Structure 1
Amino acid sequence: MIAVTGRPGHPAGALRRAAAPRADPALAGRLGVPPVPATFVRRARLADRLARGVREHPLVLVDGPAGAGKTLLVCDWLRTSPPPHPAAWLTVEAEDNSPAVFWHDVGQALHRAGALPRAVGAARRAAPAGRPPRHLATGLGLRRDPVVVVLDEFERITDPEVATGLDHLLRHCGGMLRLVLVSRNEPLLPLHRYRAADEITEIRAADLAFSEEESSALLTRHGLALSGPDVRVLTGRTEGWAAGLRLWALAAARSPDCGRYLKEFEAGHSTIADFLLAEVLDTQPAGTRDLLLRTSILDRIHPALADALTGSRDAERILDELARANAFVTPLNGPWYRQHPLFAEILRVHLRARHPGLPPELHLAAARWLQRAGLLDEALRHAVAADRWDLAAAWFAGGPAVDQFFSSTGPGRSAALFDAMPAGLEGPCAELIRAARALAAGDCAAGTAHLDRAAAGLTAAEDDAPARLTAAVLRLVAARLTGSAPGAVEAARTADRLRRTVPADPGREHQVLPVRLFTDLAAVRLWSGDPGAARAALLAAVAEAPGAEHPERYEPLGLLALVELLGGAVGPAERRARQALAEAGTWEAEGTGRAAIAHLVLAWIALERGDPAVVRSHARRVPAAEAGAVTGGAVDGGAGDNGVVDSAAGHGGAGESGAVDGGAPVVGSGPGGDPLRIVLGAVVRARFALRNGDPRRALALLAAAEHPGAAGEPSPWARGLIAPVAAEALVAAGAAGAAVGLLPAGQARSPELALATARARFAAGDRGAAARALPRTPAGPPATVTRILLLKAEAGAADGDERTAAHLLTRALATARPDRLRGPFLEAGPWLAAFLRRRPDLTADHGWLPEPLRRRAAPVPGPAEDAPPVEPLSRREREVLERVAQLMSTQEVAADLQLSVNTVKTHLKSINRKLCTSRRTEAVRRARRLHLL
């Protein structure tokens, strides 16, 4: 193995003349493997790659920036686990850029390592262009095993003839050469051929970067002890750059508290700065130094932007050369580059010292260029850095960036910039930003006040259209928080009109504004009790975001799931909610407030199916501020003039209040938050508390949702959800009379309110009033219809009419079966289990029911259960049987199928004959076992 070390040696005149053989002492310092310091950290992962590369490939390339630890890595590998074959080392110097000098020095290194037979002498004349001296190829060809040659600091070789000769030697030495090149940049060899043929091992800058564990080991070698988080910070700040870590450790060793030193460390005034300025900046031409200094203010560098900052037109060439030279400039996607953050930090200090007034001018120029390029987030950061808050506010408020304040994952980076906006900054754009911040915090009063002041400063001019669009969007946000349907409609119309006149931002992959408009409008529509209009707006929102990759589609999907669930479509609601959460997960937003609706819908469905573990799982994913919960179990005063929840203080109940969701955080809803989510969260948690036998907590949860967030408008939707659950809680707490008084009378009632009224009357002992409260033909969501049928069955059983009770119970089971709604049966009370013990046949075909409610009926003589029909059922007979299974009477089946009653009876006789049954209920049961239904 041959190594090259960089020490001054040959006179400059030797660069371009044929080198006569020189005395070995002149090369001795460059032919030995340099020592490894005691603080060196051996990295087995890289040493193993070196060993494997030398074993498997003819060429190994170790390249990285100055101070990356390239040379020490190879030195340690040679000293601790040398290859089984001879190894030569040569440190390349500038004069080796001449082919004659280079091949002479390589020959000396091979002779010193004993890699060439003694019979092979030195070259007597120069080799032909592009070829190494013949004696090297001849000597290597005589070997029986390969020789390893290390050429250190190979970046000094820029002569294509030298590189061509090395490539020729590798390919014509009979496989007896393993070449290890240590360089700051890629050599001129045709690396693409080696890569295509799998003949090269590469250890690049990213591989050489220290991991956190390796950084910790290095600090330990220097006698320093940093905590895990501090090591992570230091490794991230240096990006694992070996020299940076070592120089920092040397400086920190002089500090009594290295952890504090890390927090106060300024790279611009340190030995790290000295190293980088000397090794990187000062070695560059004047134009390159100027570009590096001026672009140090940028997070990423575009060649055209660099030209704008330097006033030149060669930035693309310079950046490409710097990247190829591993000069702490790295190419990114497309035409962009970036400087190493530590290098950039040092250059910024250097820039301020050399040109004190220049950084603000550079920031302003960068801001204007980035804003014209449509890169608003970056433009805003530079405008703020230039102390041009007026520009930043105008750009931010006049574009779609204001939606960052309402992001499901929290304010974006640009929105956070305006936390430092001067209080004295005036103008409509500044007021719009203050309004957005206030509304994002749920402070509708302050937000509306700022909007009013902004409106006073805006005109109907075309230039103000973007700001007026932002104002309309914020008005809609305020309407959603207050529940104001008229305000929402007016704001949505204004925003929709203006957005058609303002060009869409071409820099945004997803246009979120239309989706937001329709979603917010739908939420207010639902709050005001118009689910049909809400559904239409939500479908429009989804249509505006047709792809699953759209960042805002999951919220309208969750709201659609809620509308469908409230309408009784359990299956579609579940699918929509799961789709919403899957898409929210794509954007890492599944645990945020705007995904809360989907979690609450799935928790509600799990509650109806009697699955408490799933309820808890989804309840925990709802942020505390959206939970609609309270901190304590005590119930505040009564319902008040407008409330629907009476005090439960004297109504008994189940002991102390506990966490509804088994440990999920519950806090007061506070002044902010979406009222729709708060109410839904409170209702779901209250129902879960009731299922767990805790009516006091249920009432407390509902009381907290009486005036959710900033909602000032009464909501028939919210009252329709809260009142039935509150009445049920009062009944469970032993206050049936209070429950009766709570519910509205003498007006059109929803099925849920009718059921709640009937339950309260039934619990109060007034069965006649309970019966009158219930609809004659139950309608509504399946869970509500099931509960109505169960209450009617309970009344029938209490009156001794078991036949009617059994008929109603059969209908309830048939209604609940498609969606596996176990919840209504679990909460029906002890009468149901007692009744089913007498009639186990009723649940024989309902294995989905909980075990305590299922009892196997005694077998009765009859045909084999799995025997096929005597003959197949006709299509019409199947249609009749399907309706009979839905507990339709003969007359109802005839009307539904537009047949005569006698025809239906004929079909029923044929069905019984084919299935070997005598009654329609037996026919239905047997058809299900045979999978005919």
Structure 2
Amino acid sequence: MYNLLRVSTPILATKLYIPPSRSTIVLRPRLIERLNEGLLGSRKLALISAPAGFGKTTLVSEWIDRCGRRVAWLSLDEGDNDPARFLSYLVAALQTIVAGIGEGLLAALQSSQLPPIESLLTTLLNEIATIQDKFLLILDDYHLIDSEPIDNALTFILEHQPPQMHLVIATREDPHLPLARHRTRGQLTELRAADLRFTFAETAEFLNRVMGLHLSTEDIVALETRTEGWIAGLQLAALSMHDRQDAASFIKSFTGSHRFVLDYLVEEVLLRQTEHIRRFLLQTSILDRLCGPLCNAITDQGDGKAMLEALERDNLFVIPLDDQRQWYRYHHLFVEVLRAFLDEAYGEQVPTLHRKASVWFEQNDLPGEAIHHALAAKDFERAADLIEGVWLGMDLSYQSAAWLVWAKALPEEVIRARPVLCVGFAWALLAIGEIEVSESRLRNAERWLDLPEKPSEHSSAGMVVVDKAEFHALPASIAAARAYRALALEDIPATKMYAIQVLELVPDDEIIHRTQATALLGMAEYAEGNLPAAEQQFLKFQALMWQADDTANAINITYILANILQVQGRLREAVSAYQQALQLAAKRGTPVFLGASDLYRGLSELLCEQGDLEGAMQHLRTAQQLGERGALTGWPHRLCVAQAHIKEAQGDLAGALALLDDAERQYVRNPLPDRSIGALKTRTWLRQGRVTEAMEWAREQSLSPDDALSYLREFEHLTLVRLLIARFVAEHSAGDLHAALGLLVRLLQAAEEGGRMGSVIEIKILQSLAHQAQGDQPCALAVLERALTLAEPEGYVRVFVDEGETMRRLLEKLSHIHDHPLIGYVNRLLAAFRQTEAATQKPALINLKPEVVEPLSERELEVLRLLRSELSGPEIARLLVVSLNTLRTHTKNIFAKLGVNNRRSAVHRAEELGLF
């Protein structure tokens, strides 16, 4: 029996007053439908549980207006924790729909001899069972109830609830009721913060219609992201924006420290907590994500897991990050309020808290977060130790850019005292294309190498070394960095000198530096056009990778080997090399590895050259889907170039140029062989008849027909030949044609000596076009036949078709010779011309469209609209309430369907298509 006091409770009528719905609210049919589903089934309880300001009461009021049932409403307050008072008000609420109900219970509460509470409730439930109509009993603000007798009484009511009554509880924290049991039985409807938060459409309606603002889509998206759909946060922001001229600037500065948000969260949330909970919230607010053991380390308490579970149960703006409820985070605005209060209340402790976090993350093998907190604590020596310790692993896994962000946060004196860190700094600079400035970091490291002092972990004499093994390898690492740097600067002799130096410094069984040096020697030979020597070096590199059981690098070097085959004119062998590498990767269970994207992209380019556009697009889409996780340095640049080739093959020269512009913006200098973007754009301009732009490019590059020749500039000189021929055709300047033919003779000799048959074919095609421009068609046809003879066994197509109308007419001349041995090949090329011509003659809008394989889904269109904003990927994921991986999947699908490889291009293409 509960110990109920005899009371005479005066009833405050306003507690039974149903809040009217307002005409200015945002209608929420998706939530109303879920509540209605609970009425139609056998569900006894609707639980609406969310933090302050998520619109719980407003939603229930809207539902009442639409559900068509009678309602008994009770707004609870802290005084209702007395069981007798609670039951008195419960009966009073029921009496608003049936007069006289529960009078016996009220009388019993005044009796000197109280019967068991179950007996009182049984009588009340029997009376409820006689009510004719179905009705709702709504208990609002149940979080103010902290009484076990009341929880037990409500549990009894739920267990024996008559079917015509449907209980509704609106609360900021979950009540102590057997929710799991009712959930398992299918008797519970639940709406939580994730359900109640405004969607983008609801946010837009609230801000622009209800609050009378006139915000742009970008501003609405930004505010939605900052508030995470928290309705009160949106309302507070809207109130702050009234009469402001520059809403966008306000939104950018809108944080948890804004006075309205600060006051609301402090008064409604923070100050209502116990001192123990408040201290926990403040101390753990330094964390971007939380788990029980981490919180224990930060707070020096042992109840971290229980506290997080309690915070989630109590809806204290804590959001689970996994299904196991191991990791959580705080709501963005809430954590900003907490951090502001932390600085005010425990400012001197903040560095210590960050240091504790750093130690925990390090001990749990989470170096990135350990570094983050060490830097936040301004414990730069600790941060430098950690940063140095992860350098080699991150460098080998192509994460240099992320590593460099940490390294740049260190004071200069800390960096200069650490030779290993200096060399890591230099390598990271090289990886992001900052070639020149890397040298000073290498010199910083070198000054420590001649010191008699042995390295210690923290040397008072100045030098600090954490990774002693890497310190002893510094001479080789520095030489390798200088070889890389020299190659990027096109200093081939220096590249070879430093690479050989590396091989002399390291033992035969030292894999990392030996493979670096071998690859760099291969690149140097490649840059000089010594393809057989380059091929041998890369095969040696591949053997070392197999020896080290490094499957990914052993396979991805196929990209370079196939490129060499392509330059040698061995297209079919190159295609086979790609296919075999991909089959091997699949057989070994490693279809996704660093370099996989480039294998698919390289195969796509070869298929495009051979006229298989469908196959080319298919492999390029696969490359896009693999994206950065399967890419080597310079991937975005190369993908744009490959897409541009396909655009040209489709006759879309404008689209090709747009992609080449993207490629130019994303280019990072590196040792991998890349054709000049300027030369690629110039070739496209010439196909459009834009000779002036092409001439300007040649002047900027200081190109001349009399230049000394090198393989590195062969592609540019072949582009110059095209310009000279085009200018002769436009201006009839005999000097241009004479210069073009002379340059072609020299280029042909160099290409033949270097075994670059791909170049030989292109050169002979240009000789044919030059002779045709000169009016010497017999000579033009004779040279063209030699080009066709070389090209036919390998299946070349685009190298002919891309030359346009003049080439088509020459091929038609050959096609009239019916017994010509190459007639089948000639007819195939002419068919490819007709295919390109048909694509070019489509309406302009179609011509500019990307290859859309299938329509975008509604979700993909929603993601696409958000990509148009300034939101980051994580912010968009939070706005859509999806994981970052899910967002990436949507984004990759969008890119593939639109035929683009980055966000800006996706938006540009979508605008062309009118998708917005």
Scaled by the length of structure 2, the TM-score of the pair is 0.67
Aligned 8 A contact 1:596 1:623 in 2: no
**Against the structure 1 CA distance between its residues 228 and 809, is the aligned structure 2 distance closer, same or farther, given a 3 Å change threshold?**
closer
Q: Which residue of 395, 398, 401 corresponds with 2:386?
A: 395
Question: Corresponding residue for 1:89?
Answer: 73
Q: Which residue of 19, 42, 50 corresponds with 1:34?
A: 19
Question: Corresponding residue for 1:376?
Answer: 367
Q: Which residue of 741, 744, 748 corresponds with 2:753?
A: 748
Q: Aligned pair 1:833/2:809, yes or no? A: no
Structure-2 separation of matches of 1:237 and 1:102: 39
Aligned 8 A contact 1:591 1:623 in 2: no
Structure-2 separation of matches of 1:515 and 1:154: 67
- Residues 519-538 of structure 1: matches in 2 within 5 Å? 523-524=523-524, 526-528=526-528, 529=530, 530-533=533-536, 535-536=538-539
Give 1:297 deviation, angstroms: 1.5
Structure-2 separation of matches of 1:753 and 1:285: 78
Structure-2 separation of matches of 1:140 and 1:185: 28
Aligned 8 A contact 1:686 1:725 in 2: yes
Aligned 8 A contact 1:599 1:621 in 2: yes
Q: Which residue of 268, 272, 281 corresponds with 2:261?
A: 272
* Structure 1 unpaired stretches of 5+: 1-14, 503-512, 628-664, 708-713, 771-789, 798-804, 855-933
Aligned 8 A contact 1:58 1:200 in 2: yes
Aligned 8 A contact 1:519 1:555 in 2: no
Give 1:480 deviation, angstroms: 4.5
- Residues 90-109 of structure 1: matches in 2 within 5 Å? 90-94=74-78, 96-97=80-81, 102-109=86-93
TM-align CA RMSD = 5.1
Q: Which residue of 70, 73, 95 corresponds with 2:59?
A: 73
Structure-2 separation of matches of 1:491 and 1:197: 74
Q: Which residue of 356, 360, 364 corresponds with 2:347?
A: 356
Structure-2 separation of matches of 1:315 and 1:212: 34
Q: Aligned pair 1:182/2:139, yes or no? A: no
Q: Aligned with 1:532: secondary structure? A: helix
- Which has the larger Rg? 1
Q: Aligned pair 1:586/2:573, yes or no? A: no
Q: Aligned with 1:113: secondary structure? A: coil
Structure-2 separation of matches of 1:518 and 1:703: 37
Structure-1 separation of matches of 2:817 and 2:521: 53
Question: Corresponding residue for 2:295?
Answer: 306
Structure-1 separation of matches of 2:558 and 2:167: 60
- Residues 237-386 of structure 1: matches in 2 within 5 Å? 237-253=226-242, 259-265=248-254, 267-268=256-257, 270-333=259-322, 335-386=326-377
1:482-538 per-position Cα deviation (integer Å, ceiling 9, x unaligned) = 354426745876999899799xxxxxxxxxx99999877765553343441465378
Structure-2 separation of matches of 1:265 and 1:149: 39
Report the AA paired with residue 96 of structure 2.
Answer: R
Q: Which residue of 196, 199, 204 corresponds with 2:192?
A: 204
- Residues 755-774 of structure 1: matches in 2 within 5 Å? none
**Against the structure 1 CA distance between its residues 765 and 584, is the aligned structure 2 distance closer, same or farther, given a 3 Å change threshold?**
closer
Give 1:317 deviation, angstroms: 1.6
Aligned 8 A contact 1:85 1:147 in 2: yes
**Against the structure 1 CA distance between its residues 73 and 546, is the aligned structure 2 distance closer, same or farther, given a 3 Å change threshold?**
farther
Aligned 8 A contact 1:148 1:177 in 2: yes
Structure-2 separation of matches of 1:98 and 1:546: 72
Give 1:71 deviation, angstroms: 1.7
Q: Aligned pair 1:795/2:782, yes or no? A: yes
Aligned 8 A contact 2:422 2:444 in 1: yes
- Structure ranking higher on relative contact order (CA contacts 8 Å, 6+ apart): 2
**Against the structure 1 CA distance between its residues 217 and 22, is the aligned structure 2 distance closer, same or farther, given a 3 Å change threshold?**
farther
Question: Corresponding residue for 2:496?
Answer: 486
Structure-2 separation of matches of 1:284 and 1:544: 62
Q: Which residue of 126, 132, 136 corresponds with 1:138?
A: 126
Aligned 8 A contact 2:138 2:168 in 1: yes
Give 1:204 deviation, angstroms: 0.7
- Residues 123-162 of structure 1: matches in 2 within 5 Å? 124=108, 133-157=121-145, 162=150
Give 1:87 deviation, angstroms: 0.9
Report the AA paired with residue 635 of structure 2.
Answer: R
Structure-1 separation of matches of 2:331 and 2:115: 42
Q: Aligned with 1:442: secondary structure? A: coil
Structure-1 separation of matches of 2:318 and 2:89: 32
Aligned 8 A contact 2:53 2:232 in 1: yes
**Against the structure 1 CA distance between its residues 379 and 745, is the aligned structure 2 distance closer, same or farther, given a 3 Å change threshold?**
same
Give 1:179 deviation, angstroms: 1.4
Q: Aligned pair 1:611/2:649, yes or no? A: yes
Give 1:760 deviation, angstroms: 7.9
Structure-1 separation of matches of 2:497 and 2:337: 53
1:819-878 per-position Cα deviation (integer Å, ceiling 9, x unaligned) = 797638966464431232352897579864434989xxxxxxxxxxxxxxxxxxxxxxxx
| More helix by percentage | 2
Aligned 8 A contact 1:209 1:239 in 2: yes
Give 1:62 deviation, angstroms: 0.7
Scaled by the length of structure 1, the TM-score of the pair is 0.66
Question: Corresponding residue for 1:236?
Answer: 225
* Structure 2 unpaired stretches of 5+: 456-465, 580-598, 605-618, 729-736, 835-916
Structure-1 separation of matches of 2:363 and 2:162: 59
Structure-2 separation of matches of 1:544 and 1:338: 45
Question: Corresponding residue for 1:920?
Answer: none
1:287-330 per-position Cα deviation (integer Å, ceiling 9, x unaligned) = 22222111112211232232222222222221221121111222
**Against the structure 1 CA distance between its residues 554 and 327, is the aligned structure 2 distance closer, same or farther, given a 3 Å change threshold?**
farther
- Residues 501-540 of structure 1: matches in 2 within 5 Å? 523-524=523-524, 526-528=526-528, 529=530, 530-533=533-536, 535-536=538-539
Structure-2 separation of matches of 1:16 and 1:350: 42
Q: Aligned with 1:18: secondary structure? A: coil
Structure-2 separation of matches of 1:35 and 1:824: 71
Report the AA paired with residue 679 of structure 1.
Answer: R
**Against the structure 1 CA distance between its residues 756 and 327, is the aligned structure 2 distance closer, same or farther, given a 3 Å change threshold?**
closer
Question: Corresponding residue for 1:923?
Answer: none
Identity in percent = 25
Question: Corresponding residue for 2:852?
Answer: none
Structure-2 separation of matches of 1:454 and 1:847: 63
Aligned 8 A contact 1:436 1:447 in 2: yes
Q: Aligned with 2:651: secondary structure? A: helix
Aligned 8 A contact 2:567 2:759 in 1: no
Structure-2 separation of matches of 1:104 and 1:199: 27
**Against the structure 1 CA distance between its residues 449 and 96, is the aligned structure 2 distance closer, same or farther, given a 3 Å change threshold?**
same
Give 1:276 deviation, angstroms: 2.2
1:187-244 per-position Cα deviation (integer Å, ceiling 9, x unaligned) = 3333334434443322110122233444454445455554443333333222222223
Equivalenced residue count is 741
Structure-2 separation of matches of 1:427 and 1:407: 25
Q: Aligned pair 1:718/2:719, yes or no? A: no
Structure-2 separation of matches of 1:749 and 1:472: 29
Aligned 8 A contact 1:65 1:328 in 2: yes
Q: Which moved more, 1:147-156 or 1:236-245?
A: 236-245
Report the AA paired with residue 850 of structure 1.
Answer: L
**Against the structure 1 CA distance between its residues 269 and 825, is the aligned structure 2 distance closer, same or farther, given a 3 Å change threshold?**
closer
Structure-1 separation of matches of 2:556 and 2:106: 79
Report the AA paired with residue 4 of structure 2.
Answer: A
**Against the structure 1 CA distance between its residues 596 and 41, is the aligned structure 2 distance closer, same or farther, given a 3 Å change threshold?**
closer
**Against the structure 1 CA distance between its residues 755 and 557, is the aligned structure 2 distance closer, same or farther, given a 3 Å change threshold?**
closer
Aligned 8 A contact 1:323 1:330 in 2: yes
Structure-2 separation of matches of 1:106 and 1:381: 53
Structure-2 separation of matches of 1:157 and 1:547: 62
Aligned 8 A contact 1:822 1:850 in 2: no
